[in-house]
């Protein structure tokens, strides 16, 4: 298959590109390197350093006519979306409209979209969260992901471009960058550097963490399954910030106590996703045991952090 992956120089997108290439697909990567890195781009992919909002990107879709577009490029931070909501909507909403309009004109069969299970549902009392839970985003980022899913529905219904929206939990693994502000990445890099991590709130808040290898598996399944559906993807096992701190400390065998800071705006006590729909319809289930995946990830940071 010919597959165009946006955000293929970033954390999750680059792992997806690697697997698609391993499987023998013809892969095109589009990424403006806003947070991604050229070093992450698989040398067997064709790389175009374009912005997903640009006419050049739309022209590339029309000339290459990929079978599938996998859309991972985005402004990914809730914090930036609250500080710069216009920028967030510009990248995340206008980007996907530009993509979908060109996809419709180029007869692209399907778009796979990286949505966000952590933000499109807002804060819910009833856990775990299923796909039937109504959208209730509470940040511009959550709103831009929700709006994107409605644009996917519009282009599927009116232009025949199929889609699968994958609503991710908190993804971790090698190649995530500290700028993502993800707790596993931040704690691991700080402990490796000999710094003291700060735990906001009391550390007993717990979320659903999913290994990037499991996300890649879902993006493979979605190439041929799950048309015009949205799926939660999580491990379904909430893990507290205190537990993550202790596990990373054990893996690195360092002697450090956390500093505690105030609760941050938007911090949630408990969040985890019900992914049984993906198990049934995508034949997907989380496979990586958390401790093994965490150990591999922390070792990757240890081996790569100080390498130039």
Ligand X SMILES: NC(=O)c1ccc[n+]([C@@H]2O[C@H](COP(=O)([O-])OP(=O)(O)OC[C@H]3O[C@@H](n4cnc5c(N)ncnc54)[C@H](O)[C@@H]3O)[C@@H](O)[C@H]2O)c1
Q: Active-site residues: which are they?
A: 141
From candidates 3, 4, 5, 9, binder to ligand X by CB under 6 A = 9
Considering the complex, state which of residue 138 and residue 256 has its C-beta at the smaller distance from ligand X: 138
Stretch that binds ligand X, among 11-19, 194-202, 222-230, 260-268 (CB under 6 A): 11-19
The whole-angstrom separation of Cα 244 and Cα 212 is 17
| Residue pair 61/99 in contact by the 8 Å Cβ criterion | yes
Cβ-contact 113, 167 below 8 angstroms: no
Look at strands 238-240 and 206-211 and give their pairing: antiparallel
Which member of 16, 27, 51, 68 binds ligand X (CB under 6 A)? 51
Q: State which H helix or E strand residue 69 sits in.
A: strand 68-71
Q: Quick one: which of 74, 110, 92, 73 has its CA closest to 221?
A: 110
Applying the rule CB under 6 A, the residues between 70 and 99 that interact with ligand X are 72-74, 76, 91, 95
Q: How many whole angstroms separate alpha carbon 205 and alpha carbon 117?
A: 17
Q: According to the binding rule CB under 6 A, does residue 247 interact with ligand X?
A: no
Size of the residue set binding ligand X (CB under 6 A): 28
Contact 6, 28 (CB under 8 A): no
Between 91 and 278, name the residue whose CB sits nearer to ligand X. 91
The answer, yes or no, to whether the previous bond of 146 is cis (omega within 30 of 0) is no
Q: From the list 1, 21, 33, 104, which residue makes contact with ligand X (rule: CB under 6 A)?
A: 33
In the complex, the smallest distance separating the C-beta of residue 10 from ligand X, rounded to whole angstroms, is 2
Q: Does 7 bind ligand X (CB under 6 A)?
A: yes
Residue 194 beta carbon to ligand X: minimum distance, rounded to whole angstroms: 25
Q: Please report, as residue ranges, which positions from 147 to 186 form the binding site for ligand X (by CB under 6 A).
A: 168, 170-171, 180
Strand-pair category, 259-261 with 198-200: parallel
Of 6 and 205, nearer to ligand X (C-beta) is 6
Q: What H or E segment, with its residue span, contains residue 111?
A: strand 110-116
Would you say 40 and 10 are in contact if contact means Cβ atoms under 8 Å apart? yes
- Interacting residue with ligand X among 31, 88, 149, 214 (CB under 6 A): 31
For residue 255, the minimal CB distance to ligand X (Å) is 29
**What is the contact surface with ligand X in residues (CB under 6 A)?**
6-7, 9-13, 31-36, 51-53, 72-74, 76, 91, 95, 114, 116, 168, 170-171, 180
């Amino acid at each position: 298959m010919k597959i165009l992956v946006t955000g293929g120089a970033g954390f999750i997108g680059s792992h997806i590109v690697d697997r698609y290439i391993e499987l023998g697909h013809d892969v095109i990567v589009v990424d403006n390197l806003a947070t991604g890195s050229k070093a992450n781009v698989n040398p067997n992919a064709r790389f175009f350093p374009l912005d997903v909002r640009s006419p050049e990107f739309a022209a590339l879709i029309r000339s290459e006519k990929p079978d599938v577009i996998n859309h991972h490029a985005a402004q990914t931070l809730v914090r930036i979306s609250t500080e710069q909501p216009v920028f967030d909507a510009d990248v995340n909403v206008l980007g996907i409209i530009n993509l979908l309009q060109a996809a419709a004109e180029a007869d692209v069969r399907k778009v796979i979209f990286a949505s966000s299970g952590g933000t499109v549902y807002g804060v819910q009392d009833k856990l775990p969260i299923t796909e039937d839970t109504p959208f209730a985003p509470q940040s511009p980022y959550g709103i831009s992901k929700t709006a994107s899913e409605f644009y996917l529905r519009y282009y599927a219904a009116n232009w025949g471009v199929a889609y699968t929206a994958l609503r991710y939990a908190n993804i971790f693994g090698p190649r995530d960058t500290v700028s993502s502000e993800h707790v596993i990445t931040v704690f691991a890099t700080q402990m490796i550097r000999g710094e003291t991590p700060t735990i906001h709130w009391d550390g007993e808040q717990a979320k659903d963490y999913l290994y990037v290898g499991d996300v890649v598996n879902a993006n493979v399944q979605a190439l041929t399954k799950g048309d015009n559906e949205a799926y939660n993807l999580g491990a379904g096992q909430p893990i507290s910030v205190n537990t993550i701190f202790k596990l990373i400390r054990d893996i690195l065998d360092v002697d450090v106590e956390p500093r505690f800071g105030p609760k941050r705006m938007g911090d949630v006590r408990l969040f985890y996703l019900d992914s049984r729909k993906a198990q049934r319809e995508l034949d997907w289930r989380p496979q990586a045991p958390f401790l093994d995946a965490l150990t591999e990830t922390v070792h990757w940071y240890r081996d790569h952090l100080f390498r130039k």
